[in-house]
Amino acid sequence: MSKYMAFPEVVFKDRDLLIGALEEIGCKDIRQGKDLEMGRYYSEQLEQKAEIVIPRGTIGNHYGDIGFARTESGDYRPVMDDLDRSRALSGQFIPKLRAAYNERVVAKVATKLRGTVHRTVEGGVVKIKVRY
Amino acid sequence: MPEINFTIDPQTGEMEMKVEGVQGPQCADIAKIVTELLGVPEHEENTKEFYARPSVKPQVQNKKKV
């Protein structure tokens, strides 16, 4: 059954870093605004509003839009169709987005501390050292 | 020189952070910067360095009585 689901365990606090991360993982068409309505392509998809919307069909999300709704605390939480969870970016949408977002967090921290960044990849794991 | 080591697992997107070379609760300031961008961590642990206090040698001056 197709329905929109929120991912309460996934939080993005910085809008600019989130947009940058979305662009990095291949989201070319990003709609931004306030209370944007996510498309309802199936009867089971209930009304959803979001601040950031990736339109259906852009990164393997065949069943619906992918949205980022703002919570009362100002965080952005993803909302997507449960069937797209295993299809968007071959099921890697959330992990890739988190990794891209986290790399941006590290870069911002390094800038704030006026530190130097040394990045390596060891055994598929990204290691970043910030010295300040 | 203080350093922060970040580890990002591309399979899950999860990140770990370890602050080294900073004694005392100063590393909490670093954690605050990161928390503002990432949110509250799932797990947090203070290292031995957190509990260490910078050693300050007492300065003793000999005063001459006049």
- Residue of higher predicted confidence among B59 and B40: B40
B-chain residues within 8 Å CB-CB of A114?
none
pLDDT value for B53: 63
Compute the nearest-CA separation of A43 from chain B (Å). Answer: 31
What digits encode the pLDDT tens for the residues A44-78?
A: 889 999 999 999 999 999 999 999 999 999 999 99
Q: What's the domain count of chain A?
A: 1
How much is the average pLDDT of B22-49? 79
How much is the average pLDDT of A2-19? 89
Instruction: State the count of interchain CB pairs (< 8 A) between A and B.
Output: 84
**Roughly how many angstroms between the first and final C-alpha of chain B, as a whole number?**
47
pLDDT value for B58: 58
- Residue of higher predicted confidence among B20 and B55: B20
Using the 8-state DSSP alphabet, how is residue B23 labeled?
-
Whether the pLDDT of residue A107 is over 90: the answer is: yes
Interface test with B, best of A11, A97, A102 (most B CBs within 10 A): A102
- What does pLDDT average to over chain A? 94
The DSSP element (H or E) to which B33 belongs, if any, is helix B26-38
C-alpha A64/C-alpha A73 separation (Å) is 26
**Domain range for residue A14?**
4-131
Q: Give every CB contact of residue A5 below 8 A, 6+ residues apart in sequence.
A: A79, A80, A81, A82, A85
pLDDT interval class at A7 (50, 70, 90): confident
DSSP chain A: ---EEE-TT--B--HHHHHHHHHHTT----EEEEEEEPP--STT----EEEEEE-TTSSS--SS-EEEEE-TTS-EEEEEETTTTTTGGGGTHHHHHHHHHHHHHHHHHHHHHT-EEEEEEETTEEEEEEE-
- Minimal Cα distance from B8: which residue of A? A126
C-alpha A13/C-alpha B35 separation (Å) is 9
ipTM of this complex: 0.87
Which of A96, A102, A108 lies nearest to residue B15, judging by beta carbons?
A: A102
Q: Note whether B37 contacts A94, CB cutoff 8 Å.
A: no
Instruction: Report pTM.
Output: 0.87
Domain ranges of chain B: 3-51
